[in-house]
Amino acid sequence: MLDLVIVEDESNIRDCLTHLFPWNSLGINVVANFSNGQDAFHYLSHEHADILLTDIRLPNISGLDLIRMLRESKNPIEVVILTGYKHFDYAQQAIRYQVHDFLLKPIKYEELTAAMLKIKDSLEKRTDSVDSIDESDNTYHQKLISIAKEYVKGHLADASLEDTAIQVHLSPGYFSKLFHKITLSTFSDYLTQCRMERAGELLKDVTYKTYEISLMVGYDNPKNFSRAFKQYYKVTPREYRNNVSDI
């Protein structure tokens, strides 16, 4: 399933797109919807999505500004613009920002379906190519994964799948598949492992408070850190620190 984010300020249109359009039949899952570009940008700065469907005229920041900000942050998300305004300047900017399609309201079912299927086909071809990696390329791909792992270890506070993929010049989808093929582990599991192992090391130093360690390994909320730590080590950070001091 591909993950889709919808940005539309008109609530009736947004609700129809989110809940009534048969996304599941296209192999697409709506993971979030927003009424403004600012909230959408904040979400997409922290969460992965494959496709963005956005209006142009939005509160706070326009749809085109949202796309520009995503491109400046190196987010490779596929974009479809949905607008009621047919302006040449809009179309020009859309091309400049590598927008996949430019659809006019009122949207036709066939047009939206065709646009999404084109993107789905393109993304699946790009991702499926991982499954046909030539064995002679293994050394090269292992080197890429090694570089990615080192990047993660050096950026535990803010590492993400998207940022790490950028470091090795791959799309997030391709990188995720390649990482699993080479390591037999998901990127998410590897990131959690690195964060927990580093947290364990830092807890041995009593000068660090738990909330400080939480931030250092990428958790803004200490409660989420403690929950993840206990799930990984089967003890709380406090219990872990006490056990280490008793040795």
Residue, of 89 and 183, whose pLDDT is higher: 183
pLDDT of 152: 96
Q: What is the mean pLDDT of residues 181-210?
A: 94
User: pLDDT tens digits for 143-195?
Assistant: 889 999 999 999 999 999 888 988 887 777 778 888 998 999 999 999 999 99
The pLDDT value given to residue 165:
85
224: number of Cβ within 10 Å: 12
Residue 94's pLDDT band, with cuts at 50, 70 and 90, is low
Q: Where in the chain is the domain with CATH 1.10.10.60?
A: 135-246
Domain formed by 135-246, architecture = Orthogonal Bundle (1.10)
Residues of the chain with CATH 3.40.50.2300: 2-129
Superfamily name with CATH number, domain 2-129: Response regulator (3.40.50.2300)
Per residue in 58-74, pLDDT (tens digit) is: 988 988 899 999 988 88
